[in-house]
Amino acid sequence: MNIFRHYLLLIICSNVLLLVSGCTPKNVEDGTTIGQFSAHLNERIPHLMDYYNIPGVCIAVVKNGTLKWSNAYGYADIENEQPLTSGTIFRAESITKSVTAWGIMNLVERGKIALDDPVANYLTRWEFHESEFLQSNVTFRSVLSHSAGINSAIYTDYPPDKPLPLLEDVLDGANGNPGTHIIQEPGISFLYSNPGFILLELLTEEVTDTAFAGYMQSSILTPLGMGNSTFSFVEVNRSRITSTYLLNGDAVPLQREAVKAHGGLYTTVDDLARFVTASVRSSEGQSPANGVLSKASVKELHTPVISTKSIYALVSDESGFGHFIEYLATGQKAVSHGGQGTGTITWMYQIPETGDGVVILTNSERSFRFIAQILRNWTQWMGISPVGLSRLYSTVIPLVWILFISLCLLSAWLVWQTGNGLRLGRRTFAPFASRNIYTRSITGGFAVVIIGVSVSLSTHKMFLIFLPVLSGWLIPALILFACILLAQTMFVRNTNS
């Protein structure tokens, strides 16, 4: 028992040390110049990329409404050793929704639609399937804010040279897609929806009688100076598109989407930074959005409509129009959107009131933790409290380390306990003995459950994406502990011990 107490004390001390060290990031002093901050990033980012095995990263920093600095690190194509540059094209993934929302607000300003109109009033090429919920409650406002009750998932990637289905066929569920359905009462609660934004793409074409990509180019991208951005895959120079990489490091074959409004914007880090500058106040109090959207419309894009739920509530408080909203400890409103696709993760964060923002684009699925650390460095430099994604990791990472170390120490203690019992004759290998059968059965069943959970985690993509490095330590530790626990049930205590 004395040795057990020693091990227990060691576990507690180790966990406390890990908790303290895990909550202490590399500091960036508030008030340093952009040159000093960029120098810090130039030193830190390659180290983090190596640690997380991320091939390429682009980052841009907006300060006082102006793009102050951008840089690229690593490779756009590992096999051909093609370096990533600030001009490399990424698919923005779901950051696209923020840009699409600008397109919809432009239609509102032009009197083509009204935010509280039922979207069904404008549809001629497609119609909702029968549902227990009223279609008339599905408005532009509810679709833009993910409160229309429309289902979440849809899969629309195709090889570049394969014919694409029509937009309305995608909404109907072409090629085995889930299609688009109203699955909960519209306007009541948050339900993130890719199909909802695909519906907005169709509606844009309905009211403008123009292809969505063409409308967005002439009405939003070109006026905002996003000259390297497009919604049209055929207009992209494929040699400028970054390769993307899976968790295991394998390259993803180039794909294009049959639809565009929810994740099909092709862009560069500098262009997305220009988009951020259009949304925030400059040091002179002016917004480059003038002439594209009114200040009132930009403000409405960032106005909360509904509280977020599930995983989205971990990194945001509310949903606006194509933007997630978070309130900082200072009371300031921050707006953001992330994007995740096969082989890529992107992030855009901005504080409209101060004119500050950051854009991070990566070509790897291993990047969420990396992005959280860069966001923490950025907020330290800004002198503001950590944002939601950084806070989430600051909570989870120490707990995972505590669990990992505890499992390792408990596994070592179980091995010692069993071996010492055999050495002293207190235990005997007797897997089918009736002694302590109920306790051993419960212990064995618990071990089997842990093994099942571990196997499930090892195939759970979001878990592996969320913890790209620690999952490689935690899952084996869980399996090892469970196997040792299971094996110990076969070494039965002797009745005279």
305 and 263 housed in the same domain = yes
Predicted pLDDT at 163: 87
Closest among 254, 238, 460, 268 to 341, alpha carbons compared: 254
The residues near 96 (Cβ < 8 Å, ≥ 6 apart) are 197, 260, 261, 262, 263, 264, 265, 339
pLDDT digits (tens, 9 = 90+) for 229-262: 999 998 888 889 999 999 999 999 998 888 999 9
pLDDT digits (tens, 9 = 90+) for 106-156: 999 999 999 999 999 999 999 998 889 999 999 999 999 999 999 987 777
Distance separating alpha carbons of residues 373 and 294, to the nearest angstrom: 34
Domain count within the chain: 2
95 and 210 housed in the same domain = yes
pLDDT greater than 90 at residue 281: no
Question: To the nearest whole percent, how much of the chain has pLDDT over 90?
Answer: 75
Q: What is the pLDDT of the chain when averaged over all its residues?
A: 90
172 and 299 housed in the same domain = yes
- The CATH number of the domain holding residue 331 is 3.40.710.10
Contact 326, 351 (CB under 8 A): no
The lowest-confidence range among 35-44, 63-72, 425-434, 448-457 is 425-434
Distance separating alpha carbons of residues 345 and 363, to the nearest angstrom: 7
Structure tokens at 178: 């889930």
Residue 38: inside a domain, yes or no?
Answer: no
Contact 272, 60 (CB under 8 A): yes
pLDDT greater than 70 at residue 48: yes
Predicted pLDDT at 290: 65
Predicted pLDDT at 474: 96
Furthest-apart CA atoms within the chain: distance in Å? 89
Residue 39: inside a domain, yes or no?
Answer: no
347 - beta bridge partners?
338, 360
Closest among 398, 390, 283 to 334, alpha carbons compared: 390
Residue 412: inside a domain, yes or no?
Answer: yes
Residue 398: inside a domain, yes or no?
Answer: yes
| Backbone torsions φ then ψ of 57, nearest 5 degrees | -140, 135
Measured in whole angstroms, how far is the alpha carbon of residue 123 from the centre of its chain? 32
Distance separating alpha carbons of residues 360 and 379, to the nearest angstrom: 14
pLDDT digits (tens, 9 = 90+) for 354-384: 999 999 999 999 999 999 999 999 999 999 9
227 and 93 housed in the same domain = yes
Distance separating alpha carbons of residues 389 and 391, to the nearest angstrom: 5
β-pairing, 356-362 vs 427-429, is unpaired
Burial of 154 (0-12, 13-18, 19+ CB in 10 A): buried
CA within 13 Å, CB half, 262: 27
The CA-based angle 433-434-440, given to 5 degrees, is 90
Predicted pLDDT at 23: 42
Predicted pLDDT at 113: 97
479 and 402 housed in the same domain = yes
pLDDT greater than 90 at residue 431: no
pLDDT greater than 80 at residue 31: no
Residue 254: inside a domain, yes or no?
Answer: yes
- DSSP secondary structure of 254-270: P-EES--TTT--EE-HH
Sign of dihedral through CA atoms 59, 92, 382, 44? negative
204 and 335 housed in the same domain = yes
169 and 284 housed in the same domain = yes
pLDDT greater than 60 at residue 1: no
Contacts 24+ apart (CB under 8 A), 419-422: 421/491, 421/493, 421/497, 422/491
The residues near 6 (Cβ < 8 Å, ≥ 6 apart) are none
Helix (H) or strand (E) holding 495: none
Coil, strand, or helix at residue 6? helix
Distance separating alpha carbons of residues 298 and 276, to the nearest angstrom: 11
Predicted pLDDT at 435: 82
pLDDT digits (tens, 9 = 90+) for 191-220: 999 999 999 999 999 999 999 999 999 999
399 and 355 housed in the same domain = no
Instruction: Quote the DSSP letter at residue 167.
Output: H
Predicted pLDDT at 425: 86
pTM confidence score: 0.90
Structure tokens at 127: 């119609």
The lowest-confidence range among 11-20, 186-195, 435-444 is 11-20
Distance separating alpha carbons of residues 323 and 318, to the nearest angstrom: 9
Contact 37, 61 (CB under 8 A): yes
Residue 28: inside a domain, yes or no?
Answer: no
150 and 271 housed in the same domain = yes
The CA-based angle 5-10-13, given to 5 degrees, is 125
Predicted pLDDT at 22: 40
63-83 burial, b at 16+ Cβ within 10 Å, e below that, comes to bebbbbebbbbbbbbeeeeee
At which of 365, 385, 407 does a domain end?
Answer: 365
Burial of 200 (0-12, 13-18, 19+ CB in 10 A): buried
Q: How many CB atoms lie within 10 A of CB 419?
A: 12
Q: How many residues are recorded in the chain? A: 497
Sign of dihedral through CA atoms 446, 448, 454, 456? negative
pLDDT greater than 70 at residue 5: no
Residue 483: inside a domain, yes or no?
Answer: yes
Predicted pLDDT at 278: 92
pLDDT, greater one: 38 or 282: 38
pLDDT digits (tens, 9 = 90+) for 167-199: 999 999 877 778 899 999 999 999 999 999 999
Distance separating alpha carbons of residues 229 and 235, to the nearest angstrom: 10
Burial of 317 (0-12, 13-18, 19+ CB in 10 A): middle
318 and 426 housed in the same domain = no
Predicted pLDDT at 82: 95
Predicted pLDDT at 157: 83
Residue 22: inside a domain, yes or no?
Answer: no
312 and 453 housed in the same domain = no
307 - beta bridge partners?
318
Contact 89, 110 (CB under 8 A): no
Predicted pLDDT at 335: 96
196 and 252 housed in the same domain = yes
Binned at pLDDT 50, 70 and 90, residue 280 comes out as confident
pLDDT greater than 70 at residue 24: no
Tell me which residue range forms the domain holding 353: 55-365
